[in-house]
Amino acid sequence: MQMKRAVVTGIGAMTPLALTIEETWQKLIAGESGVGEITLFDTSNHKTKIAGEVKGFDPLDYMDTKEARHMDRFCQLAIAAATEAVKDAELEKMPQLDIERVAVIIGSGIGGMDTFSREAQKLFERGPGRISPFFIPKMISDIAAGQVSMRYGFRGPNYATTSACASSANALADAWRIIQRGETDVVLAGGSEATINALGIAGFNALKALSMRNDEPEKASRPFDRERNGFVMGEGSGILIVESLEHALKRNARIYGELAGAGLSADAYHVTMPAPEGYGAQLAMKRCLENAGVAPEEVQYINAHGTSTPANDKNESIAIRKVFGAHADKLSVNSTKSMLGHLLGASGAIEAAVILLSMRDGILHPTINQEFSDPDCDLDYVPNQARKQEINISLSNSFGFGGHNACLCLRRFGE
């Protein structure tokens, strides 16, 4: 069977920097941080008081009051990002779009945590009779994909991927596969997350995973820097329109780039800690290169998982060296999380979008807060200033609690 090629024709994003992908991109290039003091709940009793909130978001810009009331914030953000992506790809202008061949795959590592927290409090304080009938439909992780498909009437495969911080990268990997096999023509793929609430921050604090640099929020997320001390929670959504090349060319769609391959693996090691020397990450990158038919020496840029935690950044750096050997010194490696914080299950999709815009504009955004070099992190992290660079082939890394690893290969489009 002849495998089909998958290309990206639309992008939508809600991030801590902006409510559109283009404005987010411009702020990333400028090295702006979206991290600040938490306003979504009272942090008086919390160790961490900073996060990357989506600011100025009003769900009523995308839906009516009744719909908004029946959706958790993570789902509202997904609807908003999907709306932008569909418009960007001009799917609604297609008179003969086959809605039975349009899939929706939207990942979330946690789903409706805010809804869960609120309804649990009702149970404890007021009893089971006060639980909302919308509790379950608002909370479940698959509901964002379901709501997007219902909004547009898309009847292709419809589900969620849940693999912690690799969730939306897994969604894109699945999109690549089902496009390859010819099962669908178009996939809305990505992720959404909204866990900046009292329960979410307390839970990650209990794991000692979050930075507590509360007095300098903009400097708290510092991937690969020696003074890093934990990740910064972020929220948001990223949705990409992945389309078969044949379908995109037939409708004369604008193409951002090609989703050329994906590689998946498991650490099989620890609940939260990465495997020594990033062994699982190595496997994911090697499998991605093999599936994309790309030699290590052809890769120019890696958008790293780069969480700003001591263990991840060290092991990811080692993994890159193990996979690329001497070529690792020629790679540009950056971390979008240095400015957005860690959007958990939404990170992979937004970081894939960043790669596509880097290819389009010939520029790499910086990894900010690079102040103190770490001998364990010895790659070129595009420190503090954006860099002009033509990019043809890139990788995007996403790793999640539970040992889930996903690597995507994106390539400049050429027929």
228 and 301 both lie in a single domain: no
CB burial of 237-276 (b: ≥16 within 10 Å; e: otherwise) equals bbbbbbbbbebbeebebebbbbbbbbbbbebeeeeeebbe
Q: What is the reported pLDDT for 414?
A: 82
Q: What is the reported pLDDT for 93?
A: 80
Contact (CB, 8 A) for 146 and 228: no
How many domains does the chain divide into? 2
Q: What is the reported pLDDT for 99?
A: 95
* 78 token code pair: 């997904």
208 and 299 both lie in a single domain: no
Tell me, yes or no, whether 278 lies in a domain: yes
Q: Residues of the chain with pLDDT > 70: what percent? A: 100
The Cα–Cα gap between 405 and 150 comes to 30
Q: What is the reported pLDDT for 358?
A: 98
Strand ranges for 267-331 from DSSP E: 301-303
With tokens 């020629």, the residue in question is 330
Q: Residue 138: which pLDDT band, with cuts at 50, 70 and 90?
A: very high
Q: Residue 297: pLDDT above 90?
A: yes
Residue 118: CB partners within 8 Å, gap ≥ 6?
none
Average pLDDT over residues 234-239: 98
Per-residue pLDDT reduced to its tens digit, 272-296: 999 999 999 999 999 999 999 999 9
305 and 234 both lie in a single domain: no
Cα(first)–Cα(last) distance of the chain, in Å?
20
Q: What CATH number did the domain enclosing 287 receive?
A: 3.40.47.10
DSSP classification of residue 80 = H
Per-residue pLDDT reduced to its tens digit, 142-174: 999 999 999 999 999 999 999 999 999 999 999
Average pLDDT over residues 213-227: 98
Tell me, yes or no, whether 14 lies in a domain: yes
Q: Residue 95: pLDDT above 90?
A: no
Q: Across the strands, what pairs with 4?
A: none
- Where is pLDDT greater, at 9 or 414? 9
Q: Residue 415: pLDDT above 90?
A: no
Tell me, yes or no, whether 15 lies in a domain: yes
Q: What is the reported pLDDT for 402?
A: 95
What residues are annotated to the active site?
165, 305, 342
237 and 178 both lie in a single domain: yes
Q: Residue 333: which pLDDT band, with cuts at 50, 70 and 90?
A: very high
- List the domain range (segments joined by +) for residue 336: 262-411
* 18 token code pair: 């902006």
User: With helix as H, strand as E and coil as C, how does 5-48 read?
Assistant: CEEEEEEEEECCCCCCHHHHHHHHHCCCCCCEECCCCCCCCCCC
223 and 277 both lie in a single domain: no
pTM above 0.95, yes or no: yes
279 and 190 both lie in a single domain: no
Per-residue pLDDT reduced to its tens digit, 7-45: 999 999 999 999 999 999 999 999 999 999 999 999 999
CA distances from 251 to 54, 97, 222, 352 (A): 34, 10, 43, 24
The Cα–Cα gap between 409 and 179 comes to 15
314 and 218 both lie in a single domain: no
**Residue from 137, 126, 124, 18 nearest 74 by CA:** 137
Average pLDDT over residues 85-93: 94
Cβ atoms within 10 Å, residue 133: 8
Torsion sign (Cα): 198, 199, 201, 206:
positive
219 and 325 both lie in a single domain: no
Average pLDDT over residues 179-184: 97
